[in-house]
A and B are shown apart, each in its own frame.
Chain A
Amino acid sequence: MTLHRLTSERFREGADEALADAELQANLARLRGNFLARRARARDSLPEFDELVDEAVGIKNHVLEHLDTYLVAFEEAVEASGGTVHWARDDAEARRIVLNICRDAGASTVTKGKTMVSEEIGLNAWLEQAGIEAVETDLGEYIVQLAGETPSHIIAPAIHKNRRQISALFNHHHTNLEDRESDDLDGLLADARQMLRGRFLAADVGITGANFLVAETGQTVIVTNEGNGDLTQLLCGVHVVLAGIEKIVPTLEDASTLLRLLARSATGQDMTSYTTFSAGPRRGEDHDGPEAFHVVLVDNGRTGLLAGPNRDLLRCIRCGCCLNACPVYAKVGGHAYGSPYSGPVGAALTPSLAGLARTSHLPNASSLCGRCEEVCPMRIPLPGILRRLRDEEAQRGASPPVMRTGLQLWSVIAARPWLYHPLTSLTTRLLALMGRRRGHLPHLPFTGAWTRTRDLASPAGATFQSRWKAGERP
């Protein structure tokens, strides 16, 4: 089981690059107003939001308790409506299944609606290798694909780019457009639309993800604001749905409960512009629709997660809300995480799926401020999970030795008052002497990580406790 293009071991370098990129910093600053403020308004205007959250958490917990039952029920319902369900244990199996479907359909071009699982398994590169062109049709994904990049945000893949950058990209790639539209927002949209229309009509296979899989009806559900998902799946001969096994909900009623939370948490909309339910291939009386309907259920580490202590992560509905709320994400952007999943949920999910060996920066690079947990509509205890991953790292003896030794030393001292008091008293007096004149400490060998970029206020003198013990009172 692997995650495609995993480069999380480079987190520190990626973060440094992001911090040095002024344009990226300005682009990321838009997150606050564009998503988080709208989410807050949407939440505040729905009095029953918290009850809805309770209900949604209950639904997902119930599903995770009985996942095997619901998955089999879903499979039966899909087959009853004329579709086919495939089970993929890992990324390699998922890629093989999709490629075989494409080959059987004689496909040379596939269009794709937004699917994070496709990023997870590295589907595009695999299809390209097999001579099949994969075209992303979500505007953000389309931009990212043109740029040869990966999505930097779960719901806003190109949030790291601004209009100027996108315009330059389109100018470079859309040379075959006769009337290049202007570089304003409408012009860029018209360009992309014109480019994609032909692709939709030429595609042999359409691949989408799924926001939900409805066990009772065998339907797959996607939400979009561009309608690209509908064109992807309706205009081609074969519709392939790629979905993680945790996307199951028991009933249509349950799907509608979760849908009420999804758009509000993601973009602050009451509903997305399009919510599409797909059930099987075209039937005799249908006007349109694909000839074949395949659902590929991807495990890729999820059953391991289900059996472990971080199971709550499987409740995630990929609204991206925790990314928008995260002050670390807001500074380093999505690419620094080196995983399809970035931000707090990515920092928790990536090591849980791919192991800690290459991803140990992710759970550590957090101030544990708790804002992600506060905004999560599925009440996933993200800081708690990050802490647990840190425990796991320490237990394997894999945490950085300097940090470890420092903490051990501090803990040994702190657990022994007879040692703590004389030692700290001596140290603070010494440091106070060093810093009294300026109010802050000079650069010392052990303070570099702080004092390179910040002053470090010097201690005031003797410790509070030594003064208290000596009888000083306010």
Chain B
Amino acid sequence: MSDTRPRVALLVTCLVDLFRPSVGFAAVRLLEDAGCDVEVPAQSCCGQPAYNSGERHLAMKVARTMLDALEPFDYVVAPSGSCTGMVTRHYPTLFHGTPDEERACALARRTFELTRFLVEVRGVATTGSRFDASVTWHDSCSCLREAGTRQAPRTLLGAVEGTVIKEAGDREVCCGFGGTFAVKYPAISTAMAQDKAARLEETGADTVLSADLGCLLNIAGVLRRQGSPMKVRHVAEVLAGETAGPAIGEPDP
């Protein structure tokens, strides 16, 4: 691990902010343990829903507030491949040909998905947590194809005491979330999620983990509706050892 303490902005992501704050606190702990000074500048959404729905001018307005909020930091880290990909891959495209293009490109270069940042930038080999369960990993499309996160979560989970990883089939296939796609074409989205849930359940694992809350809400939505015993959690909770609270979609006892 390097000696200087970088200033890191947590890109909370709107889903974590609204649905599951525990992931945000887990991410802060993991980053602090990895020697970072973490700040949470006031923020909202990265603009992806508007960007993917053809509303570029709206997306740019939202994205510009993020650009302003996240700019003053050494790094920006998000507990999400999707929001990371929005900043790293799509902000440069969105701001292309505008006065903010260079700022957007610079921000893109400093922005990372959480597990990849811990392993590849901060050299973390273990988070020192314990989780007694067999887990299966859901690769989100954005982690695989936009954020460059494939091995990092497996490395970190492999070092969690008591955890066994059981790999699922069709790991590169989308779970059907796709942001607004999930509500624009719910029948197709649900059919995709049911296929994904079946592959995950075939592993016999107790818990499914992922880096993206959107996928997890979708997968949990199908598993809970089917009455499956499989639990659904964000990877940051397990890596930070914060698994006492209810899993996603479970009642608060």
Would you mind naming 11 contact pairs between A and B with Cβ atoms under 8 Å apart?
A15-B185, A327-B174, A365-B184, A374-B145, A384-B93, A387-B52, A389-B54, A414-B14, A454-B218, A454-B224, A468-B24
Contact with B along A455-474 (1 / 0, CB 8 A): 11101111111011100111
Given contacts A456-B221, A457-B20, A459-B20, 7 further A-B contacts (CB under 8 A): A328-B192, A331-B195, A415-B62, A415-B64, A453-B186, A457-B249, A474-B26
Known: A371-B173, A459-B19. A366 touches B183 (CB 8 A): no
Distance in angstroms between the alpha carbons of A457 and B184 in the assembled complex: 19
Q: Which residues 174-196 of B sit at the A interface, judged by CB distance below 8 A?
A: 174, 176-193, 195
Interface residue range, chain A: 35 or more
Residue of B nearest to A472 (CB): B25
Q: Is A294 close to B, CB under 8 A?
A: no
Distance in angstroms between the alpha carbons of A8 and B51 in the assembled complex: 24
Beta-carbon contact of A457 and B188 below 8 Å: no
Distance in angstroms between the alpha carbons of A450 and B180 in the assembled complex: 11
Among candidates B23, B50, B176, B181, residue contacting A407 with C-beta atoms closer than 8 Å: B50
Which of chain A's residues have a CB closer than 8 A to the CB of B5?
none
Beta-carbon contact of B187 and A424 below 8 Å: no
Among candidates A369, A392, A439, A459, residue contacting B251 with C-beta atoms closer than 8 Å: A439
Beta-carbon contact of A370 and B53 below 8 Å: no
Question: Which of B188, B248, B250: most chain A CB closer than 10 A?
Answer: B188
Which of chain A's residues have a CB closer than 8 A to the CB of B12?
464-465
Residue of A nearest to B24 (CB): A464
Known: A455-B249, A474-B29. A331 touches B24 (CB 8 A): no
Of the listed stretches A127-135, A171-179, A216-224, A393-401, chain B binds A393-401
Q: Which residues 438-455 of A sit at the B interface, judged by CB distance below 8 A?
A: 438-440, 449-450, 452-455
Q: Is A421 close to B, CB under 8 A?
A: yes
Q: Is A408 close to B, CB under 8 A?
A: yes
Beta-carbon contact of B193 and A399 below 8 Å: no
Question: Which of B16, B21, B65: most chain A CB closer than 10 A?
Answer: B21
Beta-carbon contact of A390 and B249 below 8 Å: no
Q: Is B113 close to A, CB under 8 A?
A: no
Q: Which residues 192-229 of B sit at the A interface, judged by CB distance below 8 A?
A: 192-193, 195, 217-218, 220-222, 224-225
Which of chain A's residues have a CB closer than 8 A to the CB of B61?
411, 415
Distance in angstroms between the alpha carbons of A123 and B12 in the assembled complex: 56
Write the nearest CB–CB distance from A369 to chain B, whole angstroms: 4
Interface residue range, chain B: 35 or more
Beta-carbon contact of B18 and A414 below 8 Å: no
Of the listed stretches B36-44, B102-110, B130-138, chain A binds B36-44
Beta-carbon contact of B185 and A365 below 8 Å: yes
Q: Is A184 close to B, CB under 8 A?
A: no
Contact with A along B104-143 (1 / 0, CB 8 A): 0000000000000000000000000000000000000110
Among candidates B58, B179, B224, residue contacting A411 with C-beta atoms closer than 8 Å: B58
Q: Is A428 close to B, CB under 8 A?
A: yes
Known: A439-B249, A457-B217, A457-B220. A463 touches B52 (CB 8 A): no
Which of chain A's residues have a CB closer than 8 A to the CB of B17?
424, 463-465
Q: Is A307 close to B, CB under 8 A?
A: no
Known: A428-B18, A439-B250, A463-B17. A367 touches B176 (CB 8 A): yes
Which of chain B's residues have a CB closer than 8 A to the CB of A413?
44
Known: A465-B40, A473-B28. A411 touches B189 (CB 8 A): no
Question: Which of A364, A414, A450: most chain B CB closer than 10 A?
Answer: A414
Q: Is B3 close to A, CB under 8 A?
A: no
Write the nearest CB–CB distance from B108 to chain A, whole angstroms: 16
Write the nearest CB–CB distance from A474 to chain B, whole angstroms: 4
Distance in angstroms between the alpha carbons of A461 and B24 in the assembled complex: 13
Beta-carbon contact of A455 and B221 below 8 Å: yes
Residue of A nearest to B145 (CB): A370
Known: A15-B187, A407-B55. A420 touches B44 (CB 8 A): yes
Beta-carbon contact of A417 and B50 below 8 Å: no
Q: Is B47 close to A, CB under 8 A?
A: yes
Among candidates B21, B65, B180, residue contacting A460 with C-beta atoms closer than 8 Å: B21
Q: Is B22 close to A, CB under 8 A?
A: yes
Beta-carbon contact of A366 and B178 below 8 Å: yes
Q: Which residues 419-447 of A sit at the B interface, judged by CB distance below 8 A?
A: 420-421, 424, 427-428, 436-440
Write the nearest CB–CB distance from A434 to chain B, whole angstroms: 12
Write the nearest CB–CB distance from A114 to chain B, whole angstroms: 28
Q: Is B45 close to A, CB under 8 A?
A: yes
